[in-house]
Chains A and B, each alone.
Chain A
Amino acid sequence: MPLLFYHIRPEAIPKTRYLMGELAADKHVKYIISIEKKKDNFESVVMEHLRMNGAYWGLTTLDLLGKLDAMMEVLFVGGFAGNIGHDPHILYTLSAVQVLALFDKLDVLDIDKVSNYISGLQNEDGSFSGDIWGEVDTRFSYIAVCCLSILHRLDKVDVDNAVNYIVSCKNLDGGFGCTPGGESHAGQIFCCVGALAITGALHHVDKDLLGWWLCERQVKSGGLNGRPEKLPDVCYSWWVLSSLIMIDRVHWISKEKLVKYILGCQDLENGGISDRPDDAVDIFHTYFGVAGLSLLEYPGLKAIDPAYALPDDVVKRIFFAHRHCRSDLSLARRRLLLKLAVVFCN
């Protein structure tokens, strides 16, 4: 059973032919929708444990493309068996919160329960475990901080201590690793810089040193790699680019060359974006490609926030708007949605 059912208006998908060098937006929409239907190949079963992340990647991409409304309705069904039965983990809690934020349905969560789950994972030294089994990683610090901020519950954890732990993972090249002493990696840098951004603590970052390391991730083809002497990959268009933006050093890379690289990784025939030109596409890289183009101010895309990884208007709604009252949801719908919340914080 899939997590989400999509009901598509057929006319929402026009047929257009694309040339290399433009964004094949409608093809990507079609691709994202098609993979929800394809559930019986090996990959989709292997990925089943992270269906929640997949939902976030797919839906955020649709929103950036301005096509979230192409869906008549998105029903959160009670079953979502692909995930039910799997253990709760902070990785999937963030995706759940982000998806609900996307649909302006955060109010269906039992916010205290979710935030208690997250704050319960903070350790003495300020770090966060991913779940009850105690794996520690700065990825989980980001997730905890991001989730709690979206839920307006950052006061539930020791923020100073959380910041101190992240700072203890800072390396001599200005980057950050998983744990103290861990090698700098663009994905990990995004997590640490993102968490510091959300907690208003970017003064701990040596912006010029880290900025130089990050801008040197751009290789000759225009793409970005995640560590020195590695191959470029579209997903780093997100990790590197968002970090460069948060520390105001994004002008140190060539945006034109990166746009070209991302567009060159599209499957113009069947939609979707891959890690490198002519590789097989997937939802993960499709999301990171489109999100990267949004950060590059590619025309026609909605702006995405570099720290929360949510569309800018969603972030504004979270922080600037009055909280919604629950009355606009039917009781049945709310019950279904509540089950979602329970899965992620039981």
Chain B
Amino acid sequence: MHGRPRKPSKPEDEAASAAKAQKLRALQSQFLHNHQNNIYTKEAVELSAKLLEINPESYTAWNYRKLAVEHYLSLTHSDSNPESLNSIFQEELTVAENALRQNFKSYGAWYHRKWVLSKGHSSVNLELRLLDKFQKADSRNFHAWNYRRFVAPLMNRSEEDELKYTEDMICNNFSNYSAWHNRSVLLSNLLKKKADGFLLKEKVLPEEYEFVHQALFTDPDDQSGWFYHLWLLDQTVKVDSPLLVSSWPAHGYDLMLLGDSCPSSPFTSFHSDSGTFPLVLYFNQAVEGVNSSTVSVDCELNTIKDLIWKPLSANNSQTAQVWVTQLNFIDVEPKAYPVEVSLGHSQGIISSSGFHYNHSRFAFRVCVQPVENGSAKRLGGDVMLWSDEKFHIYDAHSQESSPVISLDQLSIQNNHETTASEWRTEAIAKEIDHFRELLSLINCKIGKLTLARLLMAHDTMICPSNKTHFKEVLELYGDLMKLEPSHVQYYKDEHSLVLLQQVTSSKESLLNHCFHYRNLTSSHIGNPICLRLNNLSLSRVGSFDKLLWVQMLDLSHNELQSIEGLEAMQLLSCLNLSNNVLCSFTALEPLRSLKSLKVLNISHNEIGAHSIDTTRYLCSSPVSHSAGSEWNPGEIINADTDVKSYWEAYFILKDLNLTQLDIVGNAISDEKFKSFLIKILHALKWLDGERLH
């Protein structure tokens, strides 16, 4: 029972309870009798009112009263006396009000009132008075607030009036999350409609910042204003139209497409047996409508038309932040081919909030190398070893330009958008000052967290080369981990994301993590570049927009329990995730999109050690029914027992062409499971370091 003290019941209480029960039961059975026999006499209807007064949750009694009203309406219709009509409805309003007095959280009572109003019977003043009474008694009652949103338009109250009402409620007591919530709903409507006085965000938002400061700075531990402030920050930073953040190949890129010859440069060359490579578009938010009519790819080859674009999303949704298509250079004359990509020349690329992508273009060159017969084998024939001695620090000076430079070019292109709105940077700078001041007075969690978010927002908006706040933000998150241990993982995740932004923010810092992989037994491979982000205490990965070029990635010895977003790295062929805390195969869902993946190390994780799977519903599976799901219901029902018991592994791995897999050190990995893997992975040559026959 909500909020009722636990105490042994006394005999006299029990007797009283039994007496009350007996009375209620008699009432109930008499009522049900009336209901079943459609008895709507005055006495019968009164009896239902009595029942509802004691038990407002008796939903069948509310239904009965609606039937009774309809019954009387059909009778009074002929003499159409407005007086008697009025009294019928008035009676219902009274019963509902009495029930609400008994329990103002009663869904049935609130809905009954709504139903009466929808019949055209409403007294504006009465509803307003009732609401005032209930909202005064409990200013957080969400039923009353819902009812208010329903009644306000009926009473012809404008959204401005209602906005003023939230202001009054908040001024009365700022600790009212319900009022802040309603304010955000009303304000975003008014902004969207560009109502009088709400045309310019740069006028409205600074005032709102001032308003919410009063709440935040009066009691920083009260959560009521926290989410409103975060929403304002989002409104300040957000540019409506979607932007292209990066692509692979990037603008100005010279791509060496190799058939079977040795690569001349580990960075700009891409090895493709099939003569195809992916073209990846990375947007700043999820978009829909990327297709051959909204994106044109111009190249002299006629193999490159009618491209099929695929959204990289777990649920087969047609909305995604990253889109990919395959460009086909099979059996073409060896030479350099300029390619130009033009996006959004016809409208159709739309963000989930309905904004269109503005037109932009980028260009790169594809240098197709002559085919040399009988040359070296590629990686995959030999076992790939992730041990430290195989990796040698990459010497940037001895090499030609790296793709890191060209990655930056695209973000600069988008900059006119942000410089055009100085008020945004000004507003953020002002907020930064306010929160620094707050922190100088009091050491509070929300102050530190908000400052960290503001600094990151500031860095995102200004020129990329001026990103100077990483160190301070990382320290803030470090402090927060100590300050609030119960949310330590939240701060750690944020810390990891900022750390990766720092690593990928400049060519220099990124090159510190680039290594040559040298396998002495196969020197002809040509020393591929491996990005090593191992041993960084990462609990989450991000900044994928800067990492689209990576073919070999080492994320081992971190604290990853998710690889969300990794699907963007379409070129990945070797991936080391060993010694993390991945809990299930469904957590590896992003790998399903990585068609080039050959070598995978997931050893020493926690796969199979948990009874609750936290990523089950983030991928399509037999238990969720996404449209166009790859699961054929018959497939799993008729599958053999191994597939049923290992369906997650089956689902994630079955379409990958892995040649090497390390899985040792997971709870799931026993002999039975390993033989299952061998059965479903046809290309597999190495399992846990042992060569298969």
Min CB distance, A307 to chain B, in Å? 6
A198:B612 contact, CB within 8 angstroms:
no
Q: Does A70 contact B (CB under 8 A)?
A: no
Counting CB contacts under 8 A, is A69 at the interface?
A: no
Q: Are B486 and A201 in contact (CB under 8 A)?
A: no
Residue among B1, B55, B63, B587 with most chain A CB within 10 A: B1
B637 and A203 contact, CB distance less than 8 A:
no
Q: Is the CB of A267 within 8 A of B617?
A: no
A135 and B59 CA atoms in complex are apart in Å by: 12
A319 adjacent to B622 (CB under 8 Å): yes
Residue tally, chain A, CB below 8 Å to B: 89
Interface residue? B603 (CB, 8 A): no
Establish whether residues A229 and B20, one from each chain, have CB atoms under 8 Å apart when the complex forms: no
* A49 near B57: Cβ-Cβ < 8 Å: yes
CB distance from A71 to the nearest CB of B (A): 24
Q: Are A319 and B107 in contact (CB under 8 A)?
A: no
Q: A41-B18, A320-B644 are in contact. Are A280 and B5 (CB under 8 A)?
A: yes
In the complex, are the beta carbons of A250 and B21 less than 8 A apart? no
CB of A200 within 8 A of CB of B620, answer yes
Residue A107 at the B interface, CB < 8 A? no
As a 0/1 sequence over residues 36 to 48 of chain A, the CB contacts with chain B under 8 angstroms (1 = contact) are: 0000111111101
A154 surroundings in chain B (CB, below 8 A): 625
Contacting residues, chain B, for A312 (C-beta < 8 A): 611
- B4 in contact with A280 (CB, 8 Å): yes
Complex Cα distance, B613 from A247, in Å, reads 11
Contact of A85 among B3, B35, B227, B612 (CB under 8 A): B35
Contact A173 B615 (CB under 8 A): no
Cβ distance B142 to chain A, nearest Cβ, rounded Å: 5
Does residue A321 face the partner (Cβ distance < 8 Å to B)? yes
Complex contact A45–B111 (CB within 8 A): no
| Interface members, chain A 230-271 (any B CB < 8 Å) | 230, 233, 245-248, 250-254, 257, 267
Task: Given A87-B60, A183-B142, A281-B6, verify A254-B224 contact (CB < 8 Å).
Answer: no
- B547–chain A nearest beta-carbon distance, Å: 19
Q: By CB atoms of chain A within 10 A, which of B181, B223, B286 has the most?
A: B181
Expressed in whole angstroms, the Cα–Cα distance for A209 and B184 within the complex equals 15
> Per DSSP, are chain B's interface residues mostly helix, strand or loop, or mixed?
helix
Of A179, A182, A228, which is in contact with the most chain B CB atoms at under 10 Å from its CB? A228
| Interface residue B2 (Cβ < 8 Å from any Cβ of A) | yes
Closest B residue to A248 by beta carbon equals B614
Q: A202-B315, A297-B610, A319-B623 are in contact. Are A182 and B146 (CB under 8 A)?
A: yes
Binary CB contact string for chain B from 603 to 647 against chain A (1 if under 8 A, 0 otherwise): 000000011101101101011111101000100110000001001
Task: Name the segment of A15-23, A119-127, A211-219 touching the other chain.
Answer: A211-219
- Whole-angstrom CA separation of A89 from B317 in the bound complex: 33
B185 touches A172 (CB 8 A): yes
Q: Which of B18, B226, B487 contacts A40 (CB 8 A)?
A: B18
Contact A319-B222, Cβ < 8 Å, known A42-B20, A254-B485: no
**Centre residue among A216, A248, A294 by max chain B CB count within 10 A:** A248
Q: What is the bound-complex CA distance between A306 and B610, given in angstroms?
A: 14
The complex places the Cα of A254 from the Cα of B484 at a distance, in Å, of: 10
CA distance A46 to B20 in the complex (A): 10
Does any Cβ of B come within 8 Å of A324's Cβ? no
C-alpha gap A185/B177 in the complex (Å): 11
Q: Is the CB of B2 within 8 A of A213?
A: no
**Residue of B with least CB distance to A250:** B614
* Chain B residue with the shortest CB-CB distance to A303: B611
B302 on the A face (CB < 8 A) = no
Residues on B with beta carbons closer than 8 Å to the beta carbon of A211: 490
Q: Which A321-335 residues sit within 8 Å CB-CB of chain B? A: 321-322
The reply to whether B28 and A252 contact each other, CB–CB distance below 8 Å, is no
- Contact indicator A40/B22 (Cβ below 8 Å): yes
Known: A86-B60, A133-B63, A198-B624. A172 touches B115 (CB 8 A): no
Contact with B along A166-193 (1 / 0, CB 8 A): 0000011100011101111100000000
The reply to whether A282 and B185 form a contact with Cβ atoms under 8 Å apart is no
The answer for the CA separation of A80 and B58 in the assembled complex, in Å, is 17
* Interface residue? B140 (CB, 8 A): yes
Q: Is the CB of A212 within 8 A of B490?
A: yes
B653 within 8 A of A: no
CB contact under 8 A between A282 and B1, given known A41-B21, A319-B622 = yes
Q: CB within 8 A of A49: which of B58, B611, B636?
A: B58
- CB-contact partner of A42 in B2, B21, B57, B145, under 8 A: B21
Give the one of A181, A197, A297 with max B CB within 10 A: A181
B608, chain A: closest CB distance, angstroms? 13
Measured CA separation A42–B1 after assembly (Å): 13
Partner of B17, one of A42, A178, A216, A218: A42
Measured CB to CB, the nearest residue on chain B to A217 is: B223
Cβ of B5 to closest chain A Cβ, rounded Å: 6
Q: Are B182 and A279 in contact (CB under 8 A)?
A: no
Is A85 a contact of B36 with CB atoms below 8 Å?
A: yes
| Docked CA distance A252–B449 (Å) | 15
Chain A residues within 8 Å of B506, by CB: none
Residues of chain B contacted by A321 (CB below 8 angstroms) = 637
Distance to closest chain A CB from B338 (angstroms): 36
A160 touches B611 (CB 8 A): no
The reply on A27 being an interface residue by CB < 8 A is no
Which residues 53-73 in B have Cβ within 8 Å of A in the complex? 54-55, 57-60, 62-63, 66
**B 567-590 binary contact with A (CB < 8 Å = 1; else 0):** 000000000000000000001000
Determine the distance from Cα of A71 to Cα of B481 in the docked complex, in whole angstroms. 48
Q: Let me know if B59 and A89 touch, CB within 8 A.
A: yes
Q: Is the CB of B615 within 8 A of A248?
A: yes
Question: In this complex, what residue of B is CB-closest to A233?
Answer: B2
Are B490's CB and A215's CB within 8 A?
A: yes
* Residues on B with beta carbons closer than 8 Å to the beta carbon of A306: 612, 617
Considering residues A202, A222, A294, which has the most beta carbons from chain B within 10 angstroms of its beta carbon? Answer: A202
- A41, A202, A251: the one contacting B618 at CB < 8 Å is A202
- State whether the Cβ of B165 lies closer than 8 Å to any Cβ in chain A: no
Contacting residues, chain B, for A305 (C-beta < 8 A): 623
Chain A hits for B444, CB < 8 A: none
Q: Are B24 and A252 in contact (CB under 8 A)?
A: no
Alpha-carbon gap, A222 to B487, bound state (A): 11
B551 at the interface (CB under 8 A from A): no
Q: Pick the contact of B6: A134, A213, A267 (CB < 8 A).
A: A267
Cross-chain contact A229 with B223 (CB below 8 angstroms): yes
Residues in A whose Cβ lies below 8 Å from that of B58: 49
Instruction: List the 9 closest pairs (A to B, CB-CB), nearest first.
Output: A200-B626, A197-B617, A254-B486, A303-B611, A228-B223, A85-B32, A252-B490, A200-B624, A173-B227
Given contacts A40-B21, A172-B234, A216-B487, 5 further A-B contacts (CB under 8 A): A198-B624, A248-B614, A250-B614, A303-B611, A321-B637
Residues of A within 8 A of B (CB): 40-46, 48-50, 85-87, 89, 131, 133-135, 137, 149, 152, 154, 159-160, 171-173, 177-179, 181-185, 197-204, 209, 211-213, 215-216, 218, 222, 227-230, 233, 245-248, 250-254, 257, 267, 274-276, 278-282, 294-295, 297, 303, 305-308, 312, 315, 319-322
A-B contact pairs, 26 of them (CB 8 A): A40-B18, A41-B18, A43-B17, A133-B62, A134-B115, A135-B111, A154-B625, A171-B184, A173-B231, A197-B617, A197-B624, A200-B626, A201-B317, A203-B317, A204-B352, A218-B486, A227-B142, A248-B564, A248-B587, A250-B614, A252-B490, A274-B1, A280-B5, A307-B623, A319-B623, A320-B637
